[in-house]
Structure 1
């Protein structure tokens, strides 16, 4: 009887957490289909009169598809760079022993604790000296690498027995071949975890694109959404329609890799 009560309590807590988590999403989706006067006056699940009109109106005012492509490009480049450099550095920390390795690892841990806001001014000055302001290089490259990738990959590589690597070395395989052909396939869920985290962080990035770009053609989706929302006499139905549109890529990306993400999050201790 006690086990039954514990299970019921656990299910109740999970159900409550699910409702609290999904309620804002359902409200956003419902509001995107209603007129501004209906959002706060009609029940949540009652269909609105606007339908897809909010989407058509918002997209007629701002080039949100272009903003979407900019965000996809910036996030995709960041994922590729973070996975490659994070895997190389994580493999080095996990499977090699050399002088000052402890010092380098401390530097990585310290870098995890430094927010972008603390270094954004010197970073902008450096980018400006390169002539990268209002360019895709300035938009993407300075914040493309996410140091958390090193930490996650290192934790995953530590769990791989050295016997596999030693056997490959005996057969004449180089370290890069070992990493690409043996080690990375064994931690594929970790690759997915790093990719999803990096994609999500860059997709939602607002401060750096705001500082380094002023050209409308270089705006990312968060900047475009902010500019649209800041307009006079905000139409909340249209704002919610844009918000739904901006959420879809991350939802699709996560759902496509959900199984690997959960497996990798559990195995590497990422919450």
Structure 2
């Protein structure tokens, strides 16, 4: 016989149903959600578990998976519920989830969604390095997973093991009559990968410095303190070629470039293999 004990463990496994008899563990209140994730939790006594997002239909969740960590609260272990959900089906911003146990609403909370252009993106590839995570001496490698529609941890290495893209060097604009040199340097600033770009106009003997967070092989660099506020998207295409796209230039009356203008930068000397 399966005896169940009405234990009031209100602190057990976080936010709980009435009398500590269950919990919706994911998503938590105000959680950021993206890609294909899970909705899961546990309940001691239920015939049917359902969830509802915003004003959509109620959807039943498979119930009864073994959860050893619920045995003290429930007297048995067959209390888990879990289902997959593509959060990319929702729009960006705040959404509401309600959980029903045998038709009675037990949980009601908001969470946040950030999605890509489409609910399911195909053919994408990407990799990123998170320095200083999970500790100051480590960096975590994230790789895009199409099946999860999200980035997954694919490695944890000592800091500095995963090299930054080789931006370092001098560059000139391809087929330009002007005498402008660009010097770019990739490094770390407070554990974040950072790109710094110095733009030297040899004709006017002027220097402007731009910088920004490095993400993969690209960065948006900006200098809001210069007389002319310009920002550029820099992308390393190969060892000797870089693309520079104008993001903005203000005030427009002082700029001879426009948002969307694209320039090709060539390295002054070939990088050593």
Please indicate, yes or no, whether the TM-score normalized by the shorter chain is above 0.5.
no
Give the helix-richer structure, 1 or 2: 1
Greater Cα radius of gyration, structure 1 or 2: 2
Give the strand-richer structure, 1 or 2: 2
TM-score by length of 1: 0.19
